[in-house]
Structure 1
């Protein structure tokens, strides 16, 4: 009995191998594309054949770009226009350099050794998050008196009769002092009475009559004083026995000279 083995034809195997290689090559090429992103917010730009692989790259604010030099000649990245300027170090073959774009805007850059190598990066501004609404706080409730409604105020302390009499005396003394102070202030503020001049005199009277009237009043006053004075005491006069003797002229003769 002869056993036959079933082998697939060689042409079919070749086609399967070729399809597998093509798929692997496509996947590898996609992963190594010049500006493929290795992660969210990270971009790669190859420098090859004296040119930047992505001449117009569009990214978001905060993204990072990495340049890798694949040429034998050195290159760099020098920004000539944009919101911010920067210059990378000189990149030899196989060197890489990264920069994070924190400022939105349009950037233009070139290679300082080969000015014909030019490219641009457009950085879109990150969306601004709307501020979270501030919750409105309700006003605090007024404090509630927790005291019992039937609470009774404490009764005042009892006062002895002696203390009550002393308090009454102090109250009366304070009242008298207040009344005296009020009377003193009233007397100090009351104006002195003004004596009005007599208005019953007739303006037609002569001044001489007024002077005569005043003189009469003075005389009457003096007479009243004299009549009211006590009488002066009388001294006793000399008696007949005290009279001096009178000389007798009959015995006296005077001889007068005779003129010759």
Structure 2
């Protein structure tokens, strides 16, 4: 756990003890007898997305509004997911945000309320956001897919392909400094990643000139709290990077 480090890094007015304990308190599982407690995970190179190279063009900032993008989406029937949805769940938050969080698709609560990350996983995400010194309304939150898949299954690559261009248009409009992409499905579908989240997490990647931090999805953390400490390490890197760039630009 990292309470001293947290108090040093986050200004007191932004520090939320409950949020920090939610994210950092889960102990890692004890190593099995005869094994090392230090597990080495091979890290991926910083440019590993199938559709990208080191010279991939940056996303140019646009003057397009979210309302214009959503008007193009309309009452979407581009993929079969529309057949079971209650609502299209659009991206939510500060449209001048420095930080954006992206998941895979809405769940039942999100589908009912037409808002991203409002269920149990969303409540944990809000605490994570507060733990790194932001308020939920200061960041941008969305999903690769805007319609709930039946039974909360992961969206297919084909389904994600239909939604992804609209998300990229939102990213180009906002130009966040950092995107936190959460979970295997979102990382694969947004970034065309060829490796799993356990190898990608914890290191900044580059996506069309935007820094991307892959990490575990909050829903996964609810199922496996032992991953909260690793997620906290990932989010500390995001926080520290944004603090550094804010100081250099001041």
The structure whose Rg is larger is 1
Question: Normalized against structure 1, the TM-score is what?
Answer: 0.19
Task: With a CA cutoff of 8 Å and minimum separation of 6, indicate the structure with the bigger relative contact order.
Answer: 2
The structure richer in strand per residue is 1
Higher normalized helix content (fraction of residues): 2
> TM-score if structure 2 supplies the norm length?
0.20
